[in-house]
């Protein structure tokens, strides 16, 4: 291990021995010794039809572990950049510590932890865990039971994320590739676009598709808003036209009343309009009609007053 290159890394757990391989070999030696000391009744005689088959089973139980057996595995806990980079260094370490607690609580799935290191010397912080697949209780390899098949590994990944979420972290599971119709549909559509989809590229392609789909949704929202705005504007224009018509009808009514009361008001109105037009003065016909109307009323009142005096 080059300390100069990994000075920013944080060790969450390590075995008592400074030499991991030496500790591993010692552990195997202890297990083999315990296997050789298994008593005769470790294998039930009643389960075998002959003495020979019984002896064979007992010898197998006492035999050393296979040298070609997988006794150590490496797991990597790799959250997305968007998730892990929102936290400061102490929170990031706390997150990985909780992940390690989840693994240590289920040795049948993740093995027995020998070392765990959080790497900060790369683009995205992640944790590397080295585990032993040898059970100190059964003295056997747990490799097959731990890995199983693709379906089990996918299910274990989902359980892991759920256990971390239960600790308060809003982390999301990565792409579920196994027994997932949605993923298969996504992969088929991507391949039809001549995109190369595999476990190294599918996450990036999926995220790109997600961004594109989000952009389309935003575009549709903008278009909908634009159409709604146009409809509202057309409605306002229609209401304005209706208001203009009402104003025009009211003006005509007032003019008519004025003419009925005082026929000369019609001549005055025309003269006023002519003056306004000739002086390029903007006017409001509605205001002119009201003014003429009140003048007419004054004229009528004056006439009535003179009639009484006579």
Question: Which among 289, 247, 290 is positioned nearest to 269, based on CA atoms?
Answer: 289
d(CA 128, CA 77): 7
pLDDT, tens digit only, all 310 positions of the chain: 445 556 788 888 887 767 788 888 888 999 999 999 999 989 999 999 999 999 999 999 999 998 888 889 999 998 888 899 999 999 999 999 999 999 999 998 999 899 999 999 888 899 999 999 998 888 989 888 888 787 888 888 889 999 999 999 998 877 666 666 666 666 677 777 767 766 666 666 666 667 777 788 888 888 888 888 888 888 888 888 888 888 888 877 777 776 666 666 666 655 565 555 445 544 454 444 555 555 655 665 565 555 555 5
Tokens at 164, concatenated: 């971390």
What pLDDT is stored for residue 292 in this prediction?
54
In the sheet that holds 126-132, the strands lie side by side as 10-14, 112-119, 126-132, 72-77
Contact status, residue 174 vs residue 77, Cβ threshold 8 Å: no
DSSP class per residue in 153-175: HHHHHHHHHHHHHTTT-------
Can you tell me which residue has the tokens 């797991």? 75
Tokens at 129, concatenated: 């865990």
| 119: three-class secondary structure by DSSP | strand
What are φ and ψ of residue 78, in 5° steps? -125, 95
pTM above 0.75, yes or no: no
Sorted by sequence, the CB contacts under 8 Å of residue 100 that are 6+ apart come out as 12, 13, 113, 116, 127, 129
Contact status, residue 100 vs residue 113, Cβ threshold 8 Å: yes
Question: Which among 116, 148, 150, 144 is positioned nearest to 131, based on CA atoms?
Answer: 116
């Amino acid at each position: 291990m080059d300390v100069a290159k990994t000075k920013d890394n944080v060790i969450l757990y390590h075995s008592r021995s400074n030499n991991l391989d030496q500790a591993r070999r010692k552990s195997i030696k202890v297990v083999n010794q315990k296997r050789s000391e298994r008593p005769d009744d470790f294998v039930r005689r009643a389960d075998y039809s002959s003495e020979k088959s019984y002896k064979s089973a007992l010898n197998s139980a006492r035999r050393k572990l296979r040298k070609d057996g997988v006794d150590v595995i490496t797991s990597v806990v790799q959250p997305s950049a968007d998730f892990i980079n929102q936290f400061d260094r102490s929170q990031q370490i706390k997150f990985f510590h909780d992940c390690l607690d989840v693994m240590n609580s289920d040795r049948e799935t993740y093995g027995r932890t020998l070392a765990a290191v959080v790497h900060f010397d790369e683009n995205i912080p992640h944790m590397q865990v080295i585990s032993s697949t040898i059970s100190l209780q059964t003295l056997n390899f747990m490799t097959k039971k731990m890995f199983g098949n693709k379906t089990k590994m996918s299910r274990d990944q989902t359980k892991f994320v759920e256990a971390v979420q239960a600790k308060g972290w809003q982390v999301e599971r990565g792409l579920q590739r196994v027994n997932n119709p949605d993923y298969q549909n996504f992969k088929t559509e991507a391949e039809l676009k001549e995109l190369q989809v595999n476990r190294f590229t599918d996450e990036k392609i999926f995220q790109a598709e997600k961004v594109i789909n989000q952009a389309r949704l935003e575009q549709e929202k903008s278009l909908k808003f634009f159409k709604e705005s146009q409809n509202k504007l057309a409605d306002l224009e229609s209401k304005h036209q209706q208001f203009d018509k009402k104003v025009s009808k009211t003006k005509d009514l007032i003019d008519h009343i004025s003419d009925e009361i005082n026929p000369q008001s019609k001549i005055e109105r025309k003269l006023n309009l002519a003056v306004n037009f000739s002086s390029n003065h903007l006017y409001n016909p509605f205001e002119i009609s009201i003014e003429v109307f009140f003048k007419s009323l004054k004229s009528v009142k004056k006439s009535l007053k003179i009639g009484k005096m006579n």
